[in-house]
Amino acid sequence: MIELIIILTVLLLGHLLADFFFQSSTMVEEKARHNLKSGWSYVHAIIAGFIPFALFGDLALHPVFWITALSHLLIDAAKNAWTNPQSARAFFTDQAGHIVVALGLTIWIYNGPGLSLLFSTAPYAITIVLDSFPKSVSGVAKKSLLA
């Protein structure tokens, strides 16, 4: 059960970082204005796919990159095709779509053959990311990951 929670947490963390930390207001505006004609749509999709793939730290999980990136591109494109992509309804529908993809990937990863490899390498990949946080936060998190 704990493995399911860790997988889902990594996927949702990747989504949150991509949408709310690594996406500038310029990217949001250009994507809304030009949708798939904007290069920012593709840059954002690549970032959204790369973050969880990097956090897992397992090359065998390369489909996570492709599935996350492509689904992120398509979900965002559908949202931006709406009459008002900045509405609350569009926002929550977009987020729900990304969460459904994360849930599906969680089930796929958990039931896949790479699960044991993932949990032998992922904690070390995640510690690299945690090193960018203040030591009071990353120290506690690393101790619990590597215990």
Q: Concatenate the DSSP letters of all residues of 31-87 into one string.
A: HHHHGGGSHHHHHHHHHHHHHHHHHHT-GGGHHHHHHHHHHHHHHHHHHHHSS-TTS
Give the pLDDT of residue 84.
84
Q: pLDDT-derived band of residue 101, with 50, 70 and 90 as boundaries?
A: very high
The per-residue pLDDT of the chain, averaged, comes to 81
Residue 19 is assigned to a structural domain of this protein: yes
Domain membership of residue 25 (yes or no) is yes
Give residue 23's domain range: 2-115
Is the separation of the CB atoms in 70 and 53 below 8 Å?
no
Counting Cβ atoms within 10 Å, is residue 84 exposed (0-12), middle (13-18) or buried (19+)? exposed
66 within a domain of the structure (yes/no): yes
Is residue 104 a part of any domain in this protein?
yes
Residue 77 forms part of a structural domain: yes
Residue 135 lies in a domain: no
How large is the average pLDDT for residues 10-24?
Answer: 94
Average pLDDT over residues 1-15: 89
Q: Is pLDDT above 80 for 46?
A: yes
How many domains does the chain divide into? 1
Whether 138 is covered by a domain: the verdict is: no
